[in-house]
Structure 1
Amino acid sequence: MGGASDTEEQQLNAEIETTPQPTRRRKRKSMVWEHFTVEAVAGGCTRACCKLCKQTFAYSTGSKIAGTSHLKRHIALGSCPKIKSQDRKQLALTSGLKTDGESPDPPKRRYRTSSYLNAQFDQDICNENLAKMIILHELPLHMVEHLSFVAFAQSLQPRFKMLTCEAIEAEIMAVYQKERHYLLQVFGTMLGRISLTIGLWTTSQTLGYVCLNGQFIDSDWKLHKRMLNFMMVSSPHSENALSEVIGISLSEWNLKDKLFTITLDNNCSSHDIYSANLRDHLSNKNTLMLKGQLFVVRCYANILNVVAQDVIASIHGIVYNIRESVKFVKASPMREEKFAEISLQLEIPSTKSLSLDITTQWNTTYHMLLAALEYKQAFIVLETCDDNYNEAPSPDDWKKVEVVCSYLKLLFDSASVILAAPDPTSNIFFHEAWKIQLELAHAVACDDTVVSSVAKDMHEKFDKYWRDCSLVLAVAVVMDPRFKLKLVEFSFSKIYGEDAARYVKVVNDSIHDLYVEYVAQPLPLTPAYVELGEANASMNGNEGNPLTTPLSVVDGLHDFDIYISEISTTQSTKSELDQYLEESLVPRIQEFDILNWWKLNNMKYPTLSKMARDVLAIPMSMVSGAGGALFGAGTGSRVLDEYRSSLRPDIVEALFCAKDWLQYLPTMMEPPSNALVKMEV
């Protein structure tokens, strides 16, 4: 028995030895091995090594294989420092990868490429995008002839034919005409009026340009600002030239009967000339509301800049000494260290640091003076212990700096409020202006001669602005349901004392006269119903708005709605304006959205809301949302660079206007999506 068993076992072993053994691993077919090699390491293990960056990854440990999913991710996701994330070849690789059978478990995620990578090449689309790039980034048109740029474009798409300068001009004009046609359609559906702003540009030649921007509120109660024209004129500072440009622009945009106000950015001495001539010229061709009393508005940012620059200029010698003192301290680390030691010995509690100003931006000069003021004792001591320093201001000089800073703070705080509002409506400016007017008026009457002398020049210029614009500022704040006429009454009592009632009456009469003009205009035939939603009952303290839906469309009572609208205007004992003014004020909350409030109350005040739409869209300031411009000198024209000045006027206008219009397109505001889109499975 035992012998037989041994024989059978020997035969079985022989069969096993002669039978061909299956290969342990099939041939690697995954495309990932174009980028990796397999290298043996200690312990019978192998690791995959990237051919480019030489980084290694686990691959096998004995009979257990790690798979290739992590290797694919290294290539596809751009983890490899040698591979760019936008490499088209690698993106194509990742889009077609599937489980190759080497991994016991399927990957948890897969990746695909964006559809644009598979899109057909289109020369026309490329031409348009090139034109938009030049417009938006203010690139020179002749860049299409730069050899390096042509080579770069060819490396991306060899089939792309680079445009000539003449061809790119045509593409830019095509983009301009396309966007202009769209804006014309928007103006065609605009419910209210439009207010203009006028900016002047000069060139190195005798010619100049006039820039016209329009501001309006759409049917959804959103504030919009769009550039209308950038036109070359031979004498841009001439009031007749401005009138002609405005007239041409209104005609081209079909807005001749929709002009509401014009905001000018001019120096103080020429303002009266501009105001009188523009009003007289345009009133003959356009129906101006309130007999043109609100027609011409002065830029609020401009008056802040004028006053700030003047008050700084009044102590220019002291400002120079402080600027030189700061330069002296910051000239070397040794001096800064010595100054810090002096400040520490004097126990100066300041947290500010010394800084130099930008002379064209008064807010930086204000901060320089403010910081230096806190270190004034350190500067005095420094002069006694350092023979090289002799620029320290005198005690009287420091007194003037202290007074100037206190009034620059008024201007700075006011400008900061405007800067904080990305799309400021006209109602926010009254509160800022009347506080400055009151403070400067009190300062002029101060017994301190230093205070009164500093405030005198400031008040003289700001009072001119207040007298010109207080009416339009007051009308705008009355449209704010948090203040209405109450804030006007309160502020005028502070400014005018016993004469306040007379000035309040002027505002009250003007508001009622303006409202009568809106009543005379026909309301839309469609009912003014809106779906208010549940939030309306608690919207900023406003209650009682009925929740209704426009049933006239389905119940056939459209004519009935018209009849009710007609008899309500004759039978109502109180106008919408009087009802609005007599109702309690809406609580003041920081998140209050005035345009949304009027949108929700559009049905309750159908006529008054039309008036509010136009008033709130008045651009009280031509500058907002850009700190450098808001705090700039702002009293002169901007200068067109040499290159733009050399272009044809129609190309210059197309470049400026198209850039303004394109920035509001969703495709230009959102960053492009990543090439790789991760999908959960």
Structure 2
Amino acid sequence: MRRKTIAILKMWIKKIRRGVQVMMHLKLPFLINDIPQFFVRSSSPPNYSSNFRENLLKNLLRFSVISNRHPGYDKTGDSSSNPAPQPVTVAKKPQTQNKLPTVELDHLNWLIIKWLLVSSLPTSTLSEKWLSNSFKFLNPSAEIWNGEKFQIVLREVFRSMQESVRLIIEQITSKVSLTLDFWTSYEQILYMSVTCQWIDEYWSFQKVLLDVCHVPSPCGGPEIYYVLSKVLRMYNLETRVLAITHDNSPNALHACRSLKGDMDEQKLTVFCYIPCSAQTLNSIINDGLRTTKSVILKIREFVLEMNSSLEMSEDFVQFTTAYQEGNWKFPIDASARWSGSYQMLDIARKASKSMETVIRKYEEQLGSRVLLSPAEKNVGNIMHKYLEPFYKTINNICTNKVLTIGMLLFFMDHISDTISACKDSRQTPEWLKTAAEDMHIKAQNYSDQVCNPFTYMTAILDPRIKVELVPEYLNLESYLDESRNHFIRNYSTSYFSSISYGSTQEPEEIDSFAEEIARKKRRASVGSATDELTQYLSEPPVPMPTDVMDWWKVNSSRYPRLSLMARDHLAVQSTAVMPEDIFSAKGDEADRQRFSMPMHDARALLCVRSWIKYGIKLRYKSREIDVDRIMELTAESGGRGFDRKQKL
């Protein structure tokens, strides 16, 4: 009987594997007792442990099995040789089905919802008949919701969890900053994600996605401004936003200008908008790589062939060992992003002998098209040497724990110096000098955009930067004076208020006396505030490895008012998205998921997924859905079910 069960399951698994492309979305293997491994796509989305994904998929199938086995599976032998027990088995089985609580069947659907969320799959995935048939095969009592029901439930989950997010935002006691990210789906729908960042009272950096919004046609600046204003009103953030970091697009810039105009007119709050430095740096680098595009394409084609051929990759490793050309791990990053492009130049420079040897060995398969000429090798080596400072800088940007405005300006200033040195050198080839001039124009444009008092005061509040390491173009005496005035206006006098006591004095006398006390308090406040800022700036910058949040947490007692300003300004983001999403292959997976998301799922699915990662509980109306607990109960029930099965 056991062999028969396994054979039937193998047959179904082969059918599913062979016929359904959707199964490529299943990211991890799962096991059910003696059922053979069901190998599926191995890459998993970020921030979800493989154990969690494995257990979730395992319990999805286990749940289908435990409550009711398929008819005929309880037979322990052939019916002709064992006729007596057969009526007993058939009589008991329907009773087991009827006793199955409805809530347990809903548990299966909630596990499926969690699977959709962690895998970033649209609800249309569940319209595949093979999926519902597979659950029916394992458990005829299983009732999988249809795609429309899943959409309705997911939207209600979105509304319920959005209320939780709104309550979190209401409790923030500091200013917040926002970041805007844009993308277009396969339906040619423009989306904008709005993410909120702040530093809590324990000096821990926090961020949460506020919304994923459809930007209506014609998708210009006014439409972005309209959608952004709705999000601000929804979360009551009109007077609490200190800055917005946008993606450098003209339409986003137009929307931010309109928002600043409104805030300045109503005198609501100090507000600034900042271009994404990572997008700027990526655009600068692409200008440089344009001259070596054909060389990189040849190397990339060779690397892709190696990644797909075990024999070829093993030969490459052997040759690099023999020629002492470094250690290379496969698969090699061959993405079209910065990380992949630099890797191509790195291979051509450091493993040129091994590369040429492998190409000649597999010339029949590869042809001579990927073989680099001496001139191409020279161009690749020159570009690799020129981009090495960029490589080190980007690595530091992507691994920096708290990438403040000050630290990013410090890095970008180093990049500008590198470009200028190349542009002005007599030894630079003309083709590279032309590329460096284009890069210099974009770097200068970025410097012009961030050259204002707001970015200056934000930069100096990083204790690693202060005034000493602020870029020269930004280090103006007038900006320092403006920073002092901003500090005194917004973080000093507001902490003192006049106090009126019961008295028989006339109202005019009371007001006059109160104002006299208030003036004294304000003078003391201004002196104390100036002393705090002066004392802070008089000390040298701390070492670069210093944790900025920890430093301010420890020193907030020394600078009680300045620390309030630092808490607001250090939350302002230098990039609109995570730098690794721009520079590395990690961004490709996110782009694919968002591009393929249909309009009816995009907002709810992407928001709920992000909120779960943030730690917000999955909610349906007033009910909390504890998926982890469901998985535990399923595992326990599954263990009892299989034990009972083995005893039969």
**TM-score, normalized by the shorter chain, greater than 0.5:** yes
Q: Is the 8 A contact 1:426 1:473 kept in 2?
A: yes
Q: Please give the alpha-carbon distance, in whole angstroms, between the structure 2 residues aligned to 1:241 and 1:661.
A: 26
Q: Please give the alpha-carbon distance, in whole angstroms, between the structure 1 residues aligned to 2:427 and 2:206.
A: 47
Identify the range of structure 1 (435-444 vs 637-646) with the bigger mean alpha-carbon deviation.
637-646
Matched, 1:487 2:459: no
Q: Is the 8 A contact 1:328 1:389 kept in 2?
A: no
Which of 402, 413, 417 does residue 381 from structure 2 map onto?
A: 402
Q: Is the 8 A contact 1:380 1:392 kept in 2?
A: yes
Q: Please give the alpha-carbon distance, in whole angstroms, between the structure 1 residues aligned to 2:606 and 2:415.
A: 36
Cα distance change, pair 671–447 in 1 and its aligned pair in 2 (3 A)? farther
State the shift of 1:381 in Å: 9.1
Q: Please give the alpha-carbon distance, in whole angstroms, between the structure 2 residues aligned to 1:410 and 1:379.
A: 25
Tell me what 2:394 maps to. 415
Cα distance change, pair 325–129 in 1 and its aligned pair in 2 (3 A)? closer
Cα distance change, pair 305–522 in 1 and its aligned pair in 2 (3 A)? same
State the shift of 1:485 in Å: 1.4
Cα distance change, pair 564–154 in 1 and its aligned pair in 2 (3 A)? farther
State the shift of 1:372 in Å: 0.8
Alignment of 1:150-549 (within 5 A): 150=132, 161-205=143-187, 207-235=189-217, 237-267=219-249, 273=254, 276-285=257-266, 287-289=268-270, 292=271, 295-323=272-300, 349-351=325-327, 358-376=334-352, 389=368, 392-421=371-400, 424-450=403-429, 451-471=432-452, 474-488=456-470, 491-492=471-472, 503-519=475-491, 522-523=494-495
Q: Please give the alpha-carbon distance, in whole angstroms, between the structure 2 residues aligned to 1:225 and 1:150.
A: 37
1:187-228 CA-partner distances (Å, limit 9, x unpaired): 112111121111222234454222211111122222122111
State the shift of 1:283 in Å: 3.5
2:198 match: secondary structure: strand
1:196 match: secondary structure: strand
What letter is aligned with 1:297?
I
Cα distance change, pair 165–422 in 1 and its aligned pair in 2 (3 A)? farther
1:449 match: secondary structure: coil
What letter is aligned with 1:202?
T
Cα distance change, pair 237–438 in 1 and its aligned pair in 2 (3 A)? farther
Point out where structure 1 has 5 or more consecutive residues left out of the alignment.
1-34, 36-51, 54-77, 93-117, 497-501, 526-561, 677-681
2:213 match: secondary structure: strand
1:109-147 CA-partner distances (Å, limit 9, x unpaired): xxxxxxxxx999467766655544433433332555655
Tell me what 1:600 maps to. 554
State the shift of 1:252 in Å: 0.8
State the shift of 1:430 in Å: 2.6
Matched, 1:644 2:597: yes
Cα distance change, pair 614–236 in 1 and its aligned pair in 2 (3 A)? farther
Q: Is the 8 A contact 1:194 1:216 kept in 2?
A: yes
Tell me what 2:511 maps to. none
What letter is aligned with 1:266?
N
Cα distance change, pair 129–571 in 1 and its aligned pair in 2 (3 A)? same
2:407 match: secondary structure: helix
Cα distance change, pair 442–119 in 1 and its aligned pair in 2 (3 A)? farther
1:128-186 CA-partner distances (Å, limit 9, x unpaired): 55544433433332555655544666788887754344433332222212221121111
Alignment of 1:60-71 (within 5 A): none
The alignment yields a C-alpha RMSD, in angstroms, of: 4.8
Tell me what 1:547 maps to. none
Identify the range of structure 1 (457-466 vs 147-156) with the bigger mean alpha-carbon deviation.
147-156
Q: Please give the alpha-carbon distance, in whole angstroms, between the structure 2 residues aligned to 1:221 and 1:506.
A: 30
Cα distance change, pair 376–159 in 1 and its aligned pair in 2 (3 A)? closer
What letter is aligned with 1:258?
R
Q: Please give the alpha-carbon distance, in whole angstroms, between the structure 2 residues aligned to 1:252 and 1:573.
A: 35
Q: Is the 8 A contact 1:127 1:171 kept in 2?
A: no
Which of 109, 119, 128 does residue 137 from structure 1 map onto?
A: 119
Using structure 1 for the length normalisation, give the TM-score.
0.63
Cα distance change, pair 479–391 in 1 and its aligned pair in 2 (3 A)? same
1:607-649 CA-partner distances (Å, limit 9, x unpaired): 2122111211112112327x454336989x96886863352xx
1:429-457 CA-partner distances (Å, limit 9, x unpaired): 23321211111122211112325334222
1:389-427 CA-partner distances (Å, limit 9, x unpaired): 376545444333223213332222222223224564444
Matched, 1:581 2:518: no
Using structure 2 for the length normalisation, give the TM-score.
0.66
Tell me what 1:611 maps to. 565
Q: Is the 8 A contact 2:197 2:205 kept in 1?
A: yes
Q: Is the 8 A contact 1:239 1:278 kept in 2?
A: no
- Number of residue pairs the alignment of both structures matches: 519
2:202 match: secondary structure: coil
What letter is aligned with 2:433?
S
State the shift of 1:257 in Å: 0.3
Q: Is the 8 A contact 2:178 2:243 kept in 1?
A: yes
Q: Please give the alpha-carbon distance, in whole angstroms, between the structure 1 residues aligned to 2:141 and 2:372.
A: 69
Q: Is the 8 A contact 1:203 1:639 kept in 2?
A: no
Cα distance change, pair 131–474 in 1 and its aligned pair in 2 (3 A)? same
